[in-house]
Amino acid sequence: MRTRPAMLVTGGAKRIGAAIARAFGEAGWHVVIHYGRSRDQAEALAAELPSAEIVSCDLNDWDQGPAMVAQLAERLEDWRVLVNCAGVFDLDTSRDLEPAVFEAAMQVNAATPARIGQTFLARARSTTGRRLIHVTDQKLENPNPDFFSYTMSKHALASTVPMLSMAREDARDRIYAIAPGAILASHDQTEAETEVSHRMNLLHRKTTPHDIAGAALFLAGGWLASGETIFVDSGQHLLAQERDVLFLARQ
């Protein structure tokens, strides 16, 4: 029996990560679902997929993430894709940086994804080349003063895409980013509020988790040159928004 190609998605038990896991599972991949504290959701999702397993580590730790990836690399025969989707999204502003928020954002959203990406590229075995995909944010092109530390962390993660592309040793490898817009209710939003705030884009439509999952599947094919970022945000990054849409919708 032919071995399924493998992929790992961090934060894969819930929200966008779960949509990515489902899309790859339905496309015939062996899906490794990383979770932090959502073991029940991870187990339930794995049970739905044709071929899946769950793994856990604390992404706010310097060493657990790279160790998890190294262990997976030892036993996955054809590990082609790593999607760094997990993240923290806590509020501070450009007028009041909160040190604890900053430290967690930079570790979970930038440092750990970079380190596990490096380990993946150094250790994973693949027959077709590897794809490292970071989930960043449309705020890279459309910044506002809200969620200050979060936005800095996504800029830091985005900066690794061209650098890792330049440093890759295997020409078949690809390093990409997906920059989503507003997708699901976040922070203290209600679902009703998302109907307003998440349509504040050029197409006046809600971008869905399925859109992000579809982009990840496309990038897994390696059709684009390494170093590319795809914005999946219904054109939100082309607007100038003076605050996060969460707050603009409440004005």
Domain containing residue 154: CATH number: 3.40.50.720
Model confidence band, residue 2 (pLDDT cutoffs 50, 70, 90): low
Give the DSSP per-residue string, 179-219. Answer: EE-S-S--TT--HHHHHHHTT-STT-S---HHHHHHHHHHH
User: Is residue 105 in some structural domain?
Assistant: yes
- pTM score, two decimals? 0.96
pLDDT at 1 over 60: no
pLDDT at 153 over 70: yes
User: Mean pLDDT for the chain?
Assistant: 96
d(CA 235, CA 116): 30
User: Is residue 19 in some structural domain?
Assistant: yes
d(CA 115, CA 131): 15
Strand partners, 172: none
User: Is residue 1 in some structural domain?
Assistant: no
Average pLDDT over residues 72-90: 97
| Domain assignment of residue 46, given as a range | 6-248
| Domains in the chain, number | 1
Question: Could you tell me the two tokens for 202?
Answer: 């050029």
Q: For residue range 207-221, what is the model confidence (pLDDT) as tens digits? A: 999 999 999 999 999
Average pLDDT over residues 180-185: 91
